[in-house]
Structure formats: C-alpha cells, structure tokens
Amino acid sequence: MELVYSTQNSDFDPEKRYRNPAHFDRPEAGVTHAVVIGDWPKVVDAYEALGVEVSVTKPLISQSVDSGGADIIAGLEQVNDNLRTERAGILRLIEAAEGESTLEHPGDGELPIRLFNALKVIHEGNVSLKGERDNLAGEAESLRAEVARLKAAADQPGDSAEKIAGLKAQLDAAGVQYRANASVESLEKAVADLQKA
C-alpha cells in the first residue's frame, strides 16, 4: 500500500491514503511505498529503516517543520510591515496633494513611489501653466493700457482737431509730406523743423 505524508488541506486524490507528518510517531504496517511531501526527515528515516521505498518531493508552499509555522507568521508580519510602510507613504502623498504638506519623495514602497512620480508630473505641469497664465495676464494688462491710451487719443477734444488741422495746413503750405494719421506730436515736430530751416 502507498501512503502519502502531506500537510495539505485540500486537493486530495481519492485513490490515495494520506497522513499528516506533523503527527507522525511510528511507521504504519503494510506500507510498501511512502511519499513524503516536504522536509520530514523523521518520517523518511523511519520507513527507510524498515526497507520501505520512500519518495520525497517539495511542497507547493515551502515551510520549515521545526518552526511550527513561525516562518509563515514571520512572512506575514513582513508583508504587513511593507503594507503599513506603503500606506504611510501614500497618506503623506495624499496630504501633499491636498496642500497640507510639501510633496516629498516617500523613500520606499512601489505604490508610493509611483504615486509620487505621477503627482510630481502633475505638479510640474501646474507650475508651467501658472507661469504661462501669469505671462498672459501681464500681456493682457499691457494691451489694456495700450487700448486706454488709444481711446484717450481718439477722444481728444475738438481744439486738438483744430490744432491738427492748423499744423497740417502749415506743412501743406511748405510742401512737406506727412502721414494722414500722424499724431499731434509728430506734426508739431515737423512744423518746428520748418521754423528752424
């Protein structure tokens, strides 16, 4: 008869007989072949001492016999520590994104580092957009000032129109050419140049 020693809790083959090696105290009678899954030297040695053929295979999940599950617990504690570290890093990044703190590299943890890199790109984009917005605001202010100046020039009182007509008449009489939309200042300069000549 073949007997399988395994700590598995499921996926049993109905054609085979199973025993938990953690409860092994002595070999069973009538066993012609023992299959031992995992590191159970006490089981292997006992059957080999009786001349029974023994096959040893590795378990799907490796665990130490002597540790009594301590390796699994230690592994789970490490996973929990890693998750706590990642959670703390993500929380710091969320606070930075909400404006409660400055954006700083989390140091470790795959997810916090990925989130940091994404937030950094977003932050740099925002800084660039703010710079462009400020430049456009400056240009808009300049344009408003220019429009106000032009509007003030267009709204000149009638005596300026008479002054412009008089200056143009003097330049026409002297045969000096000027632009049709020349400003009062340029016309006054041209007339002043005439008087110097």
Q: What is the pLDDT at residue 144?
A: 92
Please state whether beta strands 17-19 and 53-57 pair in parallel, antiparallel, or not at all (unpaired). unpaired
- How many other C-beta atoms are found inside a 10 Å radius of the C-beta of residue 164? 16
Largest CA distance in the chain: 139
Rounded to 5°, the CA angle 137-140-142 comes to 110
* Cα-based torsion angle of the residue sequence 98, 102, 104, 106 in order, rounded to the nearest 10 degrees: -50
pTM over 0.75: no
Closest residue by Cα to residue 184 from 157, 144, 146, 147: 157
Averaged pLDDT in 10-residue chunks for the chain of 197 residues:
90 91 93 94 95 89 55 82 87 85 82 88 89 93 89 68 87 89 88 83
